[in-house]
Amino acid sequence: MATAADDLPKHHEPTQSERRVILASSLGTVFEWYDFYLYGLLAAIISAQFFSGVNETTGFIFALAAFAVGFAVRPFGALLFGRIGDLVGRKNTFLVTMAIMGLSTFAVGLLPSYASAGVAAPVLLVTLRLLQGLALGGEYGGAATYVAEHAPDHKRGFYTSFIQTTATLGLFAALLVVIGIRTWIGEEAFADWGWRLPFLVSIVLLAVSLWSRLSLDESPVFRRMKEEGKASKAPLTEAFGRWPNLKLVLIALFGAVAGQAVVWYAGQFYALFFLERTLRVDGATANILIAIALALATPFFVFFGWLSDRIGRKPIILAGCALAALTYFPLFGLLTEAANPALAAAQQRSGVIIVADSASCSIQFDPIGRNRFESSGCDIAKSMLARAGISYRSVYGQGGIAVLEPPEGDPHRFAIPADVAWAAQVRIGLDRIDYAGNPQGFRTAIQASLDRAGYPARADPARIDKPLVVAILFVLVLYVTMVYGPIAALLVELFPTRIRYTSMSLPYHIGNGWFGGFLPTTSFAIVAATGDIYAGLWYPIAIAAITLLIGLVFLPETRHRSLEE
């Protein structure tokens, strides 16, 4: 029996119902991203509310679980809801994921703190974070597939690009709500009880989004497949247990999504992290600057989606990866000069050297920032310098004698002996700083030395070149729009209808949940290990370069493919 979609020509202007599909799908997905990002933006306050009463080890475990689970379980949500979506339909599946996300987020705003509920409070928080990650793992694939299966063949990139704006718009909305409430009630009240308001407001967004999506019909492509009896009876087995489709999944992951993910997170989250944590720009200013850049760049998601309908998905995505890999170092260097010129000048003028036994230095991989790394002077010095945005080089040895003289003509260079056994054997230029089992005294001595060398404790607001900072952030987000705008159309077109939801969701969420989600913490660990504040960029650059190479060789162009398979 013919469906209404059969009467539509393949190339046509968008109908009113198609516009409603885009609006309702995008609105719901914006809401889900808003919910997901609230935790990241309020992580410090949430940690104080839910983990402060437990001992350090338990608190670290809970905080790590709450942070990681939202990213780590996304691929499992993709498998769970992708299978359901391919079996029973796209519409009902993403209605379920939206309800789970919305109710979980609302419930965070109602949770008791550790002070009133004890260990039950962090357990409940981790459980809700788990549900959020599972729901997000099922949402994106459903929304992208649903919109693509409604789209005219020649406008599939354009239609799905509206879904691609939703992650950035969700972050933008979360930033605005948090900034607005903080400004309205003040920092003290916000830290006490106001942090709950952004979570509680989500119940209104949930109601609006569910109402808009309930009026939609099932995807015409899926309906037709079901009517013709072509639906898969075992989507997981067919998607990942058969080499022809599994090969496409791997190509999608390593030849497109992994690079897209690191460019996305580097251009938005790591840029914000770098401004706040490395360049020491105050949080409110950094949030406003990134929000302006996001507002300016967001229309380009739609532009590159539209352009991909004309020149293809592959060249735009791979060009974004290539530009990011080639320009990240100069762009982030310029960002330092624009946001904290005093820090840039101090780093050129005064070098810092840490002298330590290599055995006393930890690998400082700390996803949630709770570990203080105080077991040795080396750890304290490296952690303090990395968090202060100060580059340094290390002189390592083991049981021998280290002699370090300031280079001739460079009286400003100074060394930090970070191990008391070594400190006795080191001759240095300006400073002699011993750990000697006194972490706070050691920190104070390091800070005094940095102050004398001209390293600023914070970025001076009056010296921030805000237009230039926004321009640099805009370029970084522009790369995001290049890799992300066409990716939904590419992923939808790679896989057959019967297993499309399952097949596209897994590589997307492995790429964005794992490769992208842990970028800030992985990059910071690289910075702490190397002493170079820019060394963390090697992680996104390497992944983007790998994606570029694999994509050039193996990734097919998909824009002319029919979805009627």
Q: What percent of the chain has pLDDT over 70?
A: 81
CA gap 230, 481 in Å, rounded: 35
- The DSSP secondary structure of 411-436, one letter per residue, reads TT-EEEE-SHHHHTT---SS-----T
Tokens representing 543 are 């992944």
Q: Would you tell me the crossing angle of helices 487-494 and 313-339 to the nearest 10 degrees?
A: 150
pLDDT of residue 264: 92
pLDDT band at residue 129 using 50, 70 and 90 as cut-offs: confident
The sign of the CA dihedral 189, 195, 198, 201 is negative
pLDDT band at residue 423 using 50, 70 and 90 as cut-offs: very low
Pairing of the two strands 393-397 and 352-357: parallel
Q: CB neighbours (10 Å) of residue 227?
A: 12
Number of H helices, E strands in the chain: 27, 3
Pairing of the two strands 393-397 and 414-417: unpaired
Q: Tens of pLDDT along 269-297?
A: 889 889 988 898 987 788 889 889 988 99
For residue 357, report the phi and psi dihedrals to the nearest 5 degrees. -75, 125
At residue 494, does pLDDT exceed 60?
yes
Per-domain boundaries in the chain: 16-338+463-554, 349-452
This prediction has a pTM of 0.81
What is the side-by-side strand order in the sheet with 393-397? 393-397, 352-357, 414-417
pLDDT of residue 482: 97
446 or 458, which is more confident: 458
CA 458 centroid distance within chain? 25
At residue 23, does pLDDT exceed 50?
yes
CA gap 144, 149 in Å, rounded: 9
Q: Tens of pLDDT along 296-320?
A: 999 999 999 999 999 999 999 999 9
For residue 231, report the phi and psi dihedrals to the nearest 5 degrees. -65, 150
Mean pLDDT of 491-496: 90
Burial class of residue 244 (count of CB atoms within 10 Å of its CB; 0-12, 13-18, 19+): exposed
Inter-residue contact 122 to 274 (CB < 8 Å): no
At residue 410, does pLDDT exceed 60?
no
**CATH topology for the 16-338+463-554 domain:** Growth Hormone; Chain: A; (1.20.1250)
Contacts of 378 (CB under 8 A, 6+ apart): 354, 356, 357, 360, 361, 362, 418, 419
Half-sphere exposure of 340 (CA within 13 A, CB side): 28
Mean pLDDT of 60-72: 64
At residue 484, does pLDDT exceed 90?
yes
pLDDT of residue 54: 60
At residue 55, does pLDDT exceed 60?
no
